[in-house]
Structure 1
Amino acid sequence: MRITIVGCGSIGSKLAKFADGMEEVKRIYLLDVQKKLAEDLAATLNKGIVVDSVEDELYHCDLVIEAASQEAAKEVAMMTVNRGVDIMIMSVGALVDDEYREAFFDKAKQTAAKIYIPSGAIAGTDVLRAAHIDEIESVELITTKGPKSLAHVKYLEDNHIDVTKYDSPTVIYNGTAREAVKDFPQNINVAATVSLLGIGFDRTHVKIVLDPAATVNSHELRIRGAFGETVCHTDNKPSPDNPKTSYLASLSAEAALKRIIRKQYIGI
């Protein structure tokens, strides 16, 4: 298998190193707007090679992994499925755009391209996927993060919310998943995944809590439906390389990649 990774930051780098150790992977093409990141990463791999364009690699690539940004995801994802190539999307918040999402899904059906979205740093997606077969009444996601994880968020800065000034847990966002994904593009991709699996971006309710004492990023997913009720709570250690990202997010992506490559879908 030949893989193209777009975005050589924390998660992209971990995925590249993970793939480099799999015998099924023959080549890993690396692309980043900061070319030096791709070059530095390639230097640590046995199978890595830096490229300048995703489009050129689609002719001899089996899987594209987007690990860059919502903006990059929209461009790369459509380009990839247009060629009938499979894609894994990490910046799943890009799919909040209804018109784009429907066009993207339709094109993938036409070209038989597969779309993979890892569960990310949250428990309960398996319950939500199953519950959606019948009626779901409500879905609520409560995310709690510390000041470091919420630093330099434009939404907070625009609303004059200084994350260093709070001395007790405080709700800093309370609304729909649609707005949460737009306002916190690097912090709450799990809200997009939950929305896609369940009752949509407008009916999924999100609370973001700033806790100055938090040492982990926590997600509590509450689901109520015809199946009954469930509450799934996850306390995630931040990634050592990026405090805005939970370590479990990269582990989830690695696990997804392993399943894709080896075609073993236990717990599907």
Structure 2
Amino acid sequence: MTSPQSVKRVAVVGLGAIGRAVATALDGGLDGLALVAVSVSDPAKHREFLAALSKSPAILPIDALADVADIVIECAPAALLRSIVAPFVSRGKTAIILSVGALLENDDLVATAKQNGGQIVVPTGALIGLDAVTAAAEGTIHSVRMVTRKPVKGLAGAPYIVENNIDIESITEPLKIFDGTAREAAKGFPANLNVAVALSLAGIGPDRTRLEIWADPALTRNVHRVEVDSDSASFTMSIENIPSENPKTGRITALSVIAYLRKQGSALRVGT
């Protein structure tokens, strides 16, 4: 059993589909971890949820979280990434991020973490086989290509869609709406393609990782196919993610965060 002295204090920013699932799991008991605080834009909206937890965490502004927690879990809009991560990594603490696409525009945070003994963690999320990609990257990866197919409502409103006047909501058959790099996708689809950026960071980087995005009115799930060619292995991965209550996010994303947290206090860790 974990002693009180070794318990790490956790804060969660954002209580959408992912944040609530993570907070519930922490409240239910993850060895060595305790939920101590949350930060939300509208506390009244979440008061009932928080009151139902066995131990209600403090509701604090983002800039106060690093004073009370050792780990922060970012489940918030991408624009808030820097304000959430910087206070933690600059004090040698850990930030678990889901808006990984925003990290490309704030990559100095990695240097800050390194200088201060902090850590930025990107969970596997919706991408199976990320361990295989990181392993292949220890050798030479020749190419990485990802094809993502999503229900129309999961892509509606993305900046790339709006800027290019693409009327995807009226399509009747699959439509390829993007073909480019992971870096370009991160800018055009900040709420949709964090999975592609995670893939790029695990492998050959955001400028060499190629991505296609298709809007498909017949789909009800997010479908990802990844093809990797390297000097150690060539492999293809496919996954169909069941959307959460937020159509832009798969249910497995929250479970990935919980699995990572559970590993921290586990006597047996499977996977790199």
Q: TM-score range by the shorter chain?
A: over 0.9
Give the superposition deviation at 1:7: 0.9
Which sections of structure 1, spanning at least 5 residues, go unmatched? none
- Kept in 1, the 8 Å contact 2:144–2:209? The answer is yes
Provide TM-score, normalisation by structure 2: 0.91
Secondary structure in 1 aligned to 2:165? Answer: coil
Q: Match for 1:246: what amino acid?
A: G
1:179 equivalent to 2:187? Answer no
Question: Whole-Å Cα distance in 2 between the matches of residues 136 and 245 of structure 1?
Answer: 28
Secondary structure in 2 aligned to 1:267? Answer: coil
- Kept in 2, the 8 Å contact 1:5–1:16? The answer is yes
Secondary structure in 2 aligned to 1:143? Answer: strand
Specify the alignment match of 1:258 in structure 2: 262
Secondary structure in 2 aligned to 1:134? Answer: coil
Provide TM-score, normalisation by structure 1: 0.93
Give the superposition deviation at 1:111: 2.0
Specify the alignment match of 2:102 in structure 1: 94
Secondary structure in 1 aligned to 2:170? Answer: coil
1:73 pairs, out of 68, 81, 84, with 81
Specify the alignment match of 1:85 in structure 2: 93
1:35 equivalent to 2:43? Answer yes
Secondary structure in 1 aligned to 2:54? Answer: coil
Which sections of structure 2, spanning at least 5 residues, go unmatched? 1-7
Equivalent positions of 1:140-159 (< 5 A) are: 140-159=145-164
1:235 pairs, out of 219, 235, 240, with 240
Change (3 A) 1:264 1:90: farther
- Kept in 1, the 8 Å contact 2:182–2:196? The answer is yes
Secondary structure in 1 aligned to 2:36? Answer: strand
1:211 equivalent to 2:216? Answer yes
Moved more, 124-133 or 16-25: 16-25
Specify the alignment match of 2:33 in structure 1: 25
Give the superposition deviation at 1:258: 1.2
- Kept in 2, the 8 Å contact 1:9–1:37? The answer is no
Question: Whole-Å Cα distance in 1 between the matches of residues 196 and 267 of structure 2?
Answer: 27
Change (3 A) 1:54 1:157: closer
- Kept in 2, the 8 Å contact 1:146–1:214? The answer is yes
Q: Match for 1:184: what amino acid?
A: F
1:12 equivalent to 2:34? Answer no
Give the superposition deviation at 1:263: 6.7
Specify the alignment match of 2:3 in structure 1: none
1:101-125 Cα offsets, whole Å, 9 max, x none, are: 1x21222122222221101111121
- Kept in 1, the 8 Å contact 2:26–2:34? The answer is no
- Kept in 1, the 8 Å contact 2:181–2:209? The answer is yes
Secondary structure in 2 aligned to 1:48? Answer: coil
Q: Match for 1:84: what amino acid?
A: G
Specify the alignment match of 1:193 in structure 2: 198
- Kept in 2, the 8 Å contact 1:26–1:47? The answer is no
Change (3 A) 1:81 1:260: same
Q: Give the RMSD, CA atoms, in angstroms.
A: 1.6
1:136-190 Cα offsets, whole Å, 9 max, x none, are: 1111111001112112223212222122221221110100110101111111100
Question: Whole-Å Cα distance in 1 between the matches of residues 95 and 110 of structure 2?
Answer: 12
- Kept in 2, the 8 Å contact 1:141–1:220? The answer is yes
- Kept in 1, the 8 Å contact 2:36–2:68? The answer is no
Question: Whole-Å Cα distance in 1 between the matches of residues 248 and 35 of structure 2?
Answer: 30
Question: Whole-Å Cα distance in 2 between the matches of residues 203 and 48 of structure 1?
Answer: 45
* Paired residues, number: 264
Secondary structure in 2 aligned to 1:199? Answer: coil
- Kept in 1, the 8 Å contact 2:177–2:213? The answer is yes
Q: Match for 1:35: what amino acid?
A: P
Give the superposition deviation at 1:93: 0.8
Runs of 4+ aligned residues of structure 1 deviating over 3 Å after TM superposition are 23-27, 261-264
